[in-house]
């Protein structure tokens, strides 16, 4: 059944997600403060226009502060029974705050950050990690099925963000370890293809090695084969690792590897040449460095 959907945030991720919903037959109206548009999506003149009278409102925004601001503006114009899906990656508290604000007005709410990057958004193969009530998730599921290939109901409000933060902390740590290992293999005179052939089929197996290998010409095609043009930018990994450490502090959790990964990506992005490169560009960084 066709729904009227308001989509707020038409950036690199939001625009293709909104377009996929429109291609599936939904009436999608989009709004972005930068004035960006999306194929098949009607453009709203302001945020109120994009949310008023909609069955569903979806947001894809840069951070928790902006999410809170957008939610404060949007919720008063949304009717009871409307569904609010936030697909941004934000701190757990902002996700919970937004869900509570929506639910207080009789609006169903789901925090549903995604994994899969720009390619997944364009191809409709994202994974959604969702937090919220059973009823809210059930209403959102048909839309997740259009925009992605998998949706997991992780628990109550904020659980989607918790899952995303934990997942990407693992990703940041394993990518650094993978890049370190290739740099060490180089210095030991080990051929990169031989390294991949061994590690990818033994106990060093990981997504960072097998699906997104940081060494050019080795394994499946990845950003390393395109000059490290970002599939997932290093500054976005830094953002997610920062969220993981913010969450760890809030939960009083000991995450030394996550903190070290955050520190290394901060150095790479802020003090070196990592900004604007894929997060796997840690490999050429380690290639150029010596011990100490």
pLDDT digits (tens, 9 = 90+) for 193-221: 999 999 999 999 999 999 999 999 999 99
Residue whose pair of structure tokens reads 């990057």 in the numeric block: 117
| Phi-psi domain of 155 (left: phi exceeds 0; alpha: psi -120 through 50; beta: other) | left
Report CA dihedral (242, 238, 267, 191) to the nearest 10 degrees.
130
Asked if the model's pLDDT at residue 100 lies above 90, the reply is yes
Q: What is the pLDDT of residue 277?
A: 98
Asked if the model's pLDDT at residue 258 lies above 90, the reply is yes
Compute the average pLDDT of residues 10-26: 97
Q: What is the pLDDT of residue 206?
A: 97
Report CA dihedral (159, 165, 169, 171) to the nearest 10 degrees.
90
User: How many angstroms separate the CA atoms of 101 and 68, rounded?
Assistant: 9
Distance from the Cα of residue 56 to its chain's centroid: 21
Asked if the model's pLDDT at residue 116 lies above 90, the reply is no
On average, the pLDDT of the chain sits at: 96
pLDDT digits (tens, 9 = 90+) for 232-253: 999 999 999 999 999 999 999 9
State whether residue 123 is helix, strand or coil.
Answer: helix
DSSP 8-53: E--STTHHHHHHHHHHTT-EEEEE-TT----TT-EEPSSHHHHHTT
- Greatest alpha-carbon pair distance for the chain in Å reads 65
Which residue among 96, 164, 239, 277 is the active-site one? 164
Asked if the model's pLDDT at residue 184 lies above 90, the reply is yes
Sign of the CA dihedral with 145 first, then 146, 149, and 153 last: negative
Listed residue (91, 100, 97) closest to 161, CA to CA: 91
- The model's pTM: 0.90
User: How many angstroms separate the CA atoms of 51 and 102, rounded?
Assistant: 13
* CB burial readout 205-236, b (16+ within 10 A) else e: ebebbbebbbbbebbeebbbeeebebbbbbbb
**Annotation says 164 is catalytic:** yes
User: How many angstroms separate the CA atoms of 74 and 123, rounded?
Assistant: 29
Q: What are the chain's domains? A: 4-156 (3.40.50.720), 162-288 (1.10.1040.10)
pLDDT digits (tens, 9 = 90+) for 52-85: 999 999 999 999 999 999 999 999 999 999 999 9
Query: What tokens appear for 53 in the block?
Result: 């009278």
225-227-230 Cα angle (round to 5): 95
């Amino acid at each position: 059944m066709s729904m009227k959907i308001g989509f707020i945030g038409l950036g690199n991720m939001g625009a293709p997600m909104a377009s996929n919903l429109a291609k599936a037959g939904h009436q999608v109206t989009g709004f972005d403060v930068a004035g960006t548009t999306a194929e098949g999506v009607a453009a709203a003149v302001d945020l109120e226009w994009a949310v008023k009278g909609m069955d569903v409102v979806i947001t894809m925004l840069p951070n928790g502060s902006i999410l809170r601001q957008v939610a404060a503006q949007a919720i008063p114009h949304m009717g009871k029974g409307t569904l609010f899906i936030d697909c941004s990656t934000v701190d757990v508290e902002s996700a919970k705050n937004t869900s509570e604000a929506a639910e207080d007005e009789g609006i169903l709410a789901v925090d549903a950050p995604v994994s899969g990057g720009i390619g997944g958004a364009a191809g409709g193969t994202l994974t959604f990690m969702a937090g919220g009530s059973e009823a809210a998730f059930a209403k959102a599921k048909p839309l997740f099925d259009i925009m992605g290939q998998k949706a997991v109901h992780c628990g109550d409000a904020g659980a989607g963000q918790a899952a995303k933060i934990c997942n990407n902390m693992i990703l940041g740590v394993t990518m650094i370890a993978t890049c370190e290992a290739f740099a060490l293999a180089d210095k030991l005179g080990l051929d990169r293809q031989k390294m991949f052939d061994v590690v990818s089929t033994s106990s060093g197996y990981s997504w960072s090695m097998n699906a997104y290998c940081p060494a050019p010409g080795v394994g499946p095609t990845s950003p390393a084969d395109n000059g490290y043009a970002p599939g997932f930018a290093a500054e976005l990994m830094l953002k997610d690792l920062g969220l993981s450490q913010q969450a760890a502090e809030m939960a009083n959790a000991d995450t030394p590897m996550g903190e070290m990964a955050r520190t290394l990506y901060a150095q790479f992005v802020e003090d070196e040449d990592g900004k604007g490169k894929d997060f796997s560009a840690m490999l050429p960084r380690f290639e150029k460095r010596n011990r100490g």
